[in-house]
Amino acid sequence: MCASCARQWPLEEPASILPNPERGGNKRGGGEEANLAEACTLGVDIGATKVAAGLVDSSGEILFHTRVPMVGHEDAAAGLRSVETAIRSVFAERPEETAPGRLAGIGVCSPGPLDPRSGVVLNPPNVPCWRNYPLAAELHRLFKMPVHVDNDANAAGLAEAIWGEGKGFRDVFYATLGTGIGTGIIFDRKIYYGRTGSAGEGGHVTVDYRGPVCGCGKRGCIEAMAAGPAIAERARRRLAEPRPSKSKMLELAGGDTAQVTAEIVGEAFRKGDALASEVLLETANLLTVWLGDIINLLEPEVIVFGGGVAALMSTFFGHMRAQLPQWCISQRCQEIPLLLGRYGADAGIAGAAALCQQA
């Protein structure tokens, strides 16, 4: 699920807003129903400042994508118009694939918290224009086709399970490492939501009960200890210690430790900086402890990573796998692949599109 928001509402089975036959069925101005196995899907990724939308084919290839500004600080209608503009841009650029009856549906990755069963966006802090907003219903009203809404980690995990590095594996654990840590649990090509929809908050598993306070209010969550801001904070602390030689991190930050970011740590590491390597190795060790807990609980067939920090940490996957037996009950834990996801920066579009495949 999302990296910072647990959902707390009754949830039975996630459902889309499906077409009403009296309104013309699964159509955009008429036509035959789309064949889900062959049709393209439109994926929409909503962020605080942008809306990205793309056309994804049945094999998970992103055929076309665009982005427009997200107007999230005005009224609800203005936010909806941003999403509508992005979708209609795809229709305009790819009229053949989005013709009536050719599109399987619209999937949407939205900031949470949200209810994937009803498609209602509850109270996202980064998109304040929507409060208990029926996003799926509003998009269905506009486009008269199935609409599915979920958060980014669940959706990206589903895309990796269906089309990406998790394809061919039954049980997939997905983790996106970035500003936060979000996770998705995919069983047999279905997102696992739990009883109330709060399952999958893997970023808020505690690895040190005396650790730093996380944004969720708990202490020592893996998000608070291994996400991008935690890497930067760890580097800044280490730079404050007396050292015989200057780190490249300080040079890249213009001599100001306060300006050190996870990106700077990564750049220094790639240039051979020893201190940056130590900072990332400690991060890898923390992630390994966390993965041990995940494997002890779920024992997935594969673990797939996405997000900007994941690309950096993939250098340490071999080290993490070698250390796993120290933290796992099953000594066959090293058989579980640790893989970097297929989609990278396009995970939101692909994930949103994948939501239509789950229906």
Each residue's pLDDT tens digit, 322-352: 999 999 999 899 999 999 999 999 999 999 9
User: What percentage of the chain has pLDDT greater than the value 70?
Assistant: 89
Separation between Cα atoms, residue 327 and residue 318, nearest integer Å? 15
Which of 24, 6, 8, 26 shows the shortest CA–CA distance to 16? 26
Instruction: Return the pLDDT at 127.
Output: 92
CA torsion 199-201-202-203 (nearest 10°) is: 180
User: What percentage of the chain has pLDDT greater than the value 90?
Assistant: 80
On the question of pLDDT at 158 being above 70, the answer is: yes
Residues 6 or more apart in contact with residue 184 via CB below 8 angstroms: 1, 153, 154, 155, 156, 157, 158, 173, 174, 191, 200
Residue 22 half-sphere exposure toward CB, CA atoms < 13 A: 0
On the question of pLDDT at 7 being above 50, the answer is: no
Q: Give the domains, in start order, of the chain with CATH numbers.
A: 21-162+347-358 (3.30.420.40), 171-341 (3.30.420.40)
CB 117 within 8 A of CB 104: no
Three-state secondary structure string covering 12-65: CCCCCECCCHHHCCCCCCCCCCCCCCCCEEEEEEECCCEEEEEEECCCCCEEEE
Separation between Cα atoms, residue 184 and residue 191, nearest integer Å? 7
Which of 131, 111, 108 shows the shortest CA–CA distance to 16? 108
Structure token digits, residue 40: 């393209």
**pLDDT tens digits, one per residue of 268-322:** 999 999 999 999 999 999 999 999 999 999 999 999 999 999 999 999 999 999 9
Q: For residue 138, count CB atoms less than 10 angstroms from its CB and return exposed for 0-12, middle for 13-18, buried for 19 or more.
A: buried
Instruction: Return the pLDDT at 52.
Output: 97
For the beta carbon of residue 267, count every other beta carbon within 10 angstroms: 16
On average, the pLDDT of the chain sits at 90
**pLDDT tens digits, one per residue of 27-75:** 344 434 556 557 899 999 999 999 999 999 999 999 999 999 999 999 9
Separation between Cα atoms, residue 204 and residue 224, nearest integer Å? 8
- The helix (run of H) or strand (run of E) holding residue 137 is helix 135-143
Instruction: Return the pLDDT at 32.
Output: 42
- The helix (run of H) or strand (run of E) holding residue 159 is helix 152-162
R_g of the chain computed on alpha carbons: 21
Residues 6 or more apart in contact with residue 140 via CB below 8 angstroms: 17, 18, 19, 146, 147
Instruction: Return the pLDDT at 198.
Output: 79
Instruction: Return the pLDDT at 245.
Output: 78
Residue 214 DSSP class: P
Instruction: Return the pLDDT at 168.
Output: 96
- Residue 244: phi and psi, rounded to 5, are -70, -25
Buried/exposed code over 51-67 (b: 16+ C-beta within 10 A; e: otherwise):
bbbbbbebebeeebbbb
On the question of pLDDT at 83 being above 80, the answer is: yes
- The structure tokens 């802090």 sit at 125
E strands present in the chain: 40-46, 50-56, 62-69, 103-109, 114-115, 120-121, 133-134, 147-150, 171-177, 181-187, 190-191, 302-306, 338-340
Separation between Cα atoms, residue 114 and residue 131, nearest integer Å? 10
